[in-house]
Structure formats: structure tokens, C-alpha cells
Amino acid sequence: MSAHRKYFGTDGVRGRTGTFPITAEFALKLGWAAGKVLAQEDGGMVLIGQDTRVSGDMLSAALKAGFLAAGLDVYLLGAMPTPGVAYLTHSLAAKVGVVVSASHNPYYDNGIKFFNAQGKKLPDVIEYQIEELLDTPMTTVAPHKMGQAKLIGDIPGRYIEFCKNTFLKSYDLKGMKIVIDCAQGATSHIAPAVFTELGAEVIAIHHTPDGFNINENCGSTHPQALQQAVLAHNADLGIAFDGDGDRVLFIDDQGEMVDGDELLFIIARAYQEKGLLTGGVVGTQMSNLGLENAFKALNIAFVRTDVGDRYVMDALLQTGWNLGGESSGHIICLDKTTTGDGIVSALQVLEQLCHTKQKLHTLKKGMVKCAQILVNVPVANGKEIVQTAVVQQFCQQAEESLERRGRILLRASGTEPLVRVMVEGEDASLIREVADSLAAVVATAATRLR
């Protein structure tokens, strides 16, 4: 078995639409191969959901044809948040769940990711098996075994009710004014309903997707518009999702951003107080040092993994813990659901606001963040550049300049053609200088390798 996956990255297969492997031809065969591996010869049901980008219909249709050829019945869910597909896959006893989405990427990118029958992302061994089958000729089952395309009623309603049921019935959101940024994505027809039905006064923005505007200057990757809206409407807070709804960030009533680390801290402290926390909390190498320090003060164990929700999930399953997340806002509450869910995570934060009767601005102060600078350097061959001698040597020198009062993380993105330079420490001006210098070294190394 190869040590490196050929098509699958850290979050499924992803790339620019129309460029291999994000083509209709590849999606057709990927659907067939996934169907053969995950359903064996037993047939069964597969659910296919997508976000709102224009290429979703093409890829969903190609995947559908592949699954039908493999002998599975297919239910097209239309626009549906990634965690919604995970929930429905498990609750409807499907063999496979598929999401056509590139998450927080621009509209011209797309991706394909899978959930197993338990609503969890596929382990490496299954992805390897699918890749091996992709290199063999595609065959079609006998006509009497061929799958059929079918419909399921009220798909959004099923997921809306699930989300609402993760919020304690003894609380409600009456009297709370919330601005919700749906990133022109898959939560556009879901999130406003969830929070409205729980009693909040909801002001929805960026909830009219047209296939091309997903994540465009909005959502969790561009929170500036939400910050302005919260202040303009004198709202209690704002909530921003990404294009496929598995990430969430908040804006407090002062217009300040509350990121994934701070949200994870708020949820963890709430879990600890209620006796719901099993073990400790899982973060990543990007988690702020202030989060680690805050957990030490609360006597909550904390471990870091590589960046990516799949690694957070792996650590949770290995430890038996039930809470983990990333600073990007991808938070996993395993006692509530099977994968990262922006709406469910947001509801856990709101529940704690109801419980403590405090404002979000106050609640987040239990964690003091260290200064952290993240610079994204556009490069095509990030993994190779990170390992070059000149970059490694500069990293070592930079770490010495921080004198053990900070840390450096340099990594190639698993989802975009970028090298991410992260520097963290006590001295904000020093870490900015180190980050900019390291980014320049990376950019120069990339030019030399062309």
C-alpha cells in the first residue's frame, strides 16, 4: 500500500473545477469506485449533498451515475451543509454520504468528500481501497441490480430539527438579536430557521447564493461585513459560517471577533461545569498558546494534532474524549454529532450564554490569547519548499530569536496551493518581524524551485 494517497487530500478530493480530478469524468468513476468499496455487493442507499457553487450540479450528477452503475440507490439532497449530510447518512441508514463542496474556497474550486454509514469521514485504509479501484476498468452491474434515483421528503426540516434538539429545551433565545452570515453557502436556507425557531430575532446576511458568490467577501473567512452589521443593528452577537457549514466564528456585541480557539474554550468550560467533558480537549498545532494556558488553569488536559479536522477526529477516537477543534472554527462535539458542525457548535456557545446570563464579550475573557501572526504564501509545491535547507535553516534561527517565548509553525496547506507561516509569542512586534521575514524566505525559495 502506498504511503501517499493519489487523489485524496486532508479533506477528500479537491481542486479547480474542470481541471483533473475535479471533472465530470473523474466524478463518475469516483462514485462507482466508492460505491463498490463502501457497499461491497450488497447495494443500499447513498445520499449526495452539495454546497451552492455552480459546478455542484454537474459533479453530483456524475457521482449519481457512478453510484447507480455500482448498484446503489441514490438520493440527491441538493444544497445541504456538510454536517447535515453526515447526520442524514447515519439517521437514514445510508451506506454512503457524499458532499460536493470545496468548503471555504472560492466558487471556481470544488471537492468531493465521503461519510461512512456512521456519519464519519473515511479512514485512510478505505480511501486507499477506493484509489486502487479507480485505476481499474469501470464496470456496470447487471440491469436487475442497477440502482435507482429516488427522493426523500423535507430534507432541510429533518436537519433543522436535529440542530434544535442539541440545544437544551429549558433555554430559548428570546430577546436575543443575532446577525447570521451564511457565506452565500449551504446554510443559507437552514441557519436562519434554526435560530429563529429557537426564539431569536435573526438578521440574515449573505444568504442569497447564485452559484458564484459563495465565500466571496463574506462568511467565516471574511468576517468584516458581519462585524459592521452587528454594530449597525446593535445586535447581541453575530455568527459566521463557511460555505459548507462545518466552520463557525462569532462576533461579540463590541464588534470583536471570537475565533475557534475562544469558542472551544467556552464550550469546554461549559462541558466541565456540567460534567459533560470526557477526558480533555483536542486542538491542533495552530491552536493559540493562550488556549493551552487557559486549559492548564482549569486542569483540563489538552493535546495537539496536525492541522485538519480528520486528525482532531482521530485523536478524539483514540483518547475517547468528546471535544476538539481548530482555531478556524471547525469544532467537533462528539456527544452531539459525528463531525464538525458549525450550527451545532454555535448552539453550544449560545446555551452557555443563556446559562451564565453573561455577554459573549465577557465570557471569552477567560482565555487570554497570545499574539499570533499567520501569513499565507502562494506556492504550487509547498511540501517541497518547506523542506528546503534554506527555509529550515531560517526557521531554526527565527526560533532562537524568540528565546523560547514563542513558537513557529510552517506547513503546506492540505486544501490550497499555499504555505502557511504561523508565528506566536509574547512580543507582538517581534513575531510580526519574524513572520514577514520567514514568508519572504519561503517566497524566494519557491521562485528558485520553479
d(CA 243, CA 169): 29
Written as one letter, the residue type at 82 is: T
- The catalytic position among 103, 287, 328, 345 is 103
For 320, the 3-state DSSP assignment is coil
CA terminus-to-terminus distance, the chain: 31
d(CA 300, CA 410): 27
Query: Given CA atoms 317, 279, 422, 187 in this order, what sign does their dihedral have?
Result: positive
| Nearest to 59, CA basis, from 33, 16, 27, 103 | 27
Q: Cell 440542530, residue?
A: 163
Measured CA to CA in angstroms, residue 303 lies from 271, 296, 300 at distances of 17, 11, 10
Strand arrangement, sheet containing 13-16: 13-16, 109-115, 96-100, 45-50, 73-79, 149-150
Exposure b/e, 82-107, CB count within 10 A at least 16 = b:
bbbbbbbbbeeebbbbbbbbbbbbbb
User: What DSSP character marks residue 44?
Assistant: -
Tell how strand 109-115 and strand 13-16 pair up. antiparallel
Residues facing 73 on adjacent strands: 45
| Nearest to 37, CA basis, from 122, 119, 110, 137 | 122
The answer to whether 41 and 7 are in contact (CB under 8 A) is: no
d(CA 213, CA 118): 32
d(CA 225, CA 221): 11
d(CA 112, CA 318): 26
60: annotated active-site residue: no
Written as one letter, the residue type at 345 is: S
The answer to whether 203 and 179 are in contact (CB under 8 A) is: yes
Positions annotated as catalytic residues are 103
